[in-house]
Amino acid sequence: MKPLVECIPNFSEGRRPDVVEQIVDSIRATPGVFLLDYSSDADHNRSVVTFAGSPAGVEAAAFAAIKTAAELIDMTQHEGEHPRIGATDVVPFVPIRGVEMADCVAMARRVGERVGHELGIPVYLYEAAATRPERANLATLRKGQYEGLRDEIATNPDRAPDYGPGELGRAGATVIGARAPLIAYNLYLDTDDVEVADRIARAVRHSGGGLRFVKAIGLLVEGKAQVSMNLTDYTRTPVHRIQELVRVEAARYGQRITHAELIGLIPEQALIDSARWYLQLDLFDDDQILERQLQAAESAGVGAEPFLEAVAAGTPTPGGGSVAALAGALGAALAGMVARLTVGKKRYADVEADMQAAAQIADELRAQLTQAVAEDGLAFQAVLEAYRLPKEDKSRAGAIQAALLGAAEVPLRVARLAAEALDVLTQAAALGNVNAMADAAVGAHVAWAAIEGASLNVRVNLADLADGAQAARLEGELETIRQQGRERLDDVLAQVSQRAGLNA
């Protein structure tokens, strides 16, 4: 399975939908990521965005969003209920699949260094990425909020940033880190007395002697007192336990919970655990959920047909670029096949180590090319969305150029990866099992088709790129890849002809 990282940046803007949309668009336009959810709260004057994707894609999207927010949000004019220190207030990276926490820590530090250096924004690292134990807690970094940090950052060594300048500008500071999945959960009370919410928050949060893995504050939102919480480990302190403690504490003051609010997304298991507890389903098994069984049955039958149907559907995506990426992935898969058909055979014992290494490289290339199948469609979709912006929108021209560049870079990467697959096929054809030479030849042909198909997609996007120098540079890189790829194709076919007598 391909690696997957989630990112949930919080922005200090919840009252200007046009600004929020521009920030979200910068994420949408980044290849390799999927926008999952976003919501805004006018009282908090804050928006929370959730997206996920490949580590490289998520890293790029996070930087793009921070940059956009810095251009559009002025912290000197910002007011809101929620604590904040910057236009992009906090950016957590969360490992989801095929990624370790250490990988997300490295991502946080790379993005943090880039934001500090390129954007001139002070950056603090928190949670698993924190450079000091006391900075692991987000509340510590937000102490005094934007105004307090502005007055202390230059003079108090304890408030010196991990990256960037020791002073605050209009964009404030940004906190970046790595953490486990978090649930942002709010409970509203039947009162407008925010002091009651604050007392309850102090009672339930861990720092006040309450429940572990619970952070809470009391706020006034839409005329009602709110206990605003972050649940940092729902597996050890479940949602239903928090719900009941707030209910008991509220009753002390003659109040009740009127309703709950979820900000962003929640892991399915957190809801299942609460349902099991409230319904007293002690013997309940997660496999009894209808949708899970249906998903398992559907996944078992998934093959090439759904993708082929999508290609044939007459919609813009997936199109030729995605097909080229798939061809490259097939070429890499055949390279891995030939290598593995060689490993373990006495006749080829002297090249076994080489073929084991070749199989591993082929697997890595196949994973990247498979990921590019979706990335190409996302890149083209970003171009369409950029062109759909109103012509009077001042950001339209820049958005179009950025989208075109992204739509050219994805197939260029596909061509490069397919050429690397041809390198592996060259080795496999020269050293591999002679009985698999036809497979090596087919792999070489489809990898070359990937290069040619990707090349067409690169050029069609470069044709409208305003930066001629950049277009020429990318065109030159593409031509080098094509020449190398053609040479490797010829090498593979020559080896196949020589070793197996096949005219491929």
Half-sphere exposure of 355 (CA within 13 A, CB side): 23
Helices (H), 4-54: 17-28
Nearest to 49 by CA among 78, 70, 69, 76: 69
Q: Which of 82, 117, 240, 445 is catalytic?
A: 82
Q: Which amino acid is present at 338?
A: V
Residue 212's region, left for phi above 0, alpha for psi from -120 to 50, else beta, is beta
Query: Which of 80, 129, 132 shows the shortest CA–CA distance to 101?
Result: 129
DSSP 161: -
Output the DSSP codes for 86-155: BSEEEEEEEEEES--HHHHHHHHHHHHHHIIIII---EEEEETT-SSGGGSSHHHHTTTHHHHHHHHTTT
- CB distance 414 to 454 below 8 Å: yes
In which region does residue 269 sit, left (phi positive, over 0), alpha (psi from -120 to 50) or beta (all else)?
Answer: alpha
Q: Is 71 exposed, middle or buried (0-12, 13-18, 19+ CB in 10 A)?
A: middle
Task: Give the bridge partners for 478, in sequence order.
Answer: none
Class of residue 29 by CB neighbours under 10 A (exposed 0-12, middle 13-18, buried 19+): buried
**Is 82 a known active-site residue?**
yes
Residues 6+ apart with CB under 8 A from 249: 199, 200, 203, 204
Strand ranges across the sheet with 257-263: 214-221, 224-231, 183-189, 257-263
Taking the C-alpha atoms of residue 500 and residue 401, their distance in angstroms, rounded to an integer, is 49
Residues 460 and 480: their CA atoms lie apart, in Å, by 18
CB atoms within 10 A of CB 104: 28
Whether the CB-CB separation of 29 and 62 falls below 8 Å is answered with no
CB of 250 closer than 8 Å to CB of 189 = yes
Q: CA 112 to CA 124: how far, in whole Å?
A: 8
Contacts with 27 (C-beta within 8 Å, 6 or more apart), sequence order: 33, 35, 49, 51, 61, 64, 65
CB distance 129 to 94 below 8 Å = no
* Residue whose entry in the numeric block shows the structure tokens 């609010």: 261
* Active site members: 82
